[in-house]
Structure 1
Amino acid sequence: MNRVLFVCTGNTCRSPMAEAILRSKNIPGLEVKSAGVYASHGQPASRYAKEVLDENQISHNHASRLLSEEDLEWATHILTMTEGHKHAINQMFPNAQGKIFTVKEYVSTDEYNKDVFDPFGGSKEIYSQTFDELKDLIDQLIEKMK
């Protein structure tokens, strides 16, 4: 059983989109969640994140969650959107080291660009670009996990 936890800052943009994209693949033996290192509890996904998911026929029902130690214990793979998120988790939860990677670090050999662009506050077009980036990364993730 693989359990993937996507982590971003507020758990309203990138990590909920990544969670919804991976969940939509309906892969047997794979569970997925998302959380934020500085999230408020119970916030919906951002307006444009929801619109972009809807346009791509990806179902979603999201309420933001603050990252917890239980999440880290549950996860077999903790995939962050940035190096900063990875560093923050390592500082807050040193016992989780070894299973924390940026999404790009986990699926790619590009050692320079390890962050997924944050669309927060941007236009719908920016959210669409982030969605496309996440979709590509998740396709690579699926291949790597096979």
Structure 2
Amino acid sequence: MAEALLKAKKLPNVEVKSAGVFAANGSSASTQATEALLEKGISHQHSSQVLDLELINWATHILTMGESHKQMVVAQSPRAIEKTFTLKEYVQGIKEDIADPFGGSLSIYRYTLEELNELIDKLGEKII
């Protein structure tokens, strides 16, 4: 959902790629994620990919949803420590995870989408 929101905002000079530390290559977004995005007028064709060294090296910034994800990125590539942050850490300067809606109801996905939307709006203000 974060990737879809970032792409929908069309921030200048920002290219977005989504990858997961627990993802399986080629999976589509959950029905709940797709529905929550469609309610916001965002249509997004998602195909998951596993985070790998090529993506880590490609990125100028790596923003994770939680601290455990951040630690897994850094464990995979210790040099990435300088460019890896949780989204809340980068935007708000706080150490707090974004709740993972995986397996939850549509209302939980809506809640997470709203949280992401607010953070990504602030991210857009910070990087422009």
Q: TM-score range by the shorter chain?
A: over 0.9
Determine the structure 2 residue equivalent to 1:105: 89
Structure 1 residue runs without a partner (length 5+):
1-16
| 1:61 and 2:49 matched | no
CA contact (8 A) 2:21 2:50 kept: yes
| 1:145 and 2:127 matched | yes
Counterparts of 2:62 and 2:45, CA distance in 1:
21
Counterparts of 1:123 and 1:38, CA distance in 2:
20
Task: Identify the structure with the greater strand proportion.
Answer: 1
| 1:39 and 2:23 matched | yes
Q: TM-score, normalised by structure 1?
A: 0.85
Q: How much is the aligned-residue C-alpha RMSD, in angstroms?
A: 0.9
Aligned length: 128
Task: Identify the structure with the greater helix proportion.
Answer: 2
Q: TM-score, normalised by structure 2?
A: 0.96
After TM superposition, which residue ranges in structure 1, 4 or more long, deviate above 3 angstroms? none
Counterparts of 1:122 and 1:29, CA distance in 2:
34
User: What SS does the corresponding residue of 2:73 show, helix, strand or coil?
Assistant: helix
Structure 2 residue runs without a partner (length 5+):
none
The letter for the 2-side match of 1:131 is: L
Determine the structure 2 residue equivalent to 1:86: 70
Counterparts of 2:102 and 2:88, CA distance in 1:
19
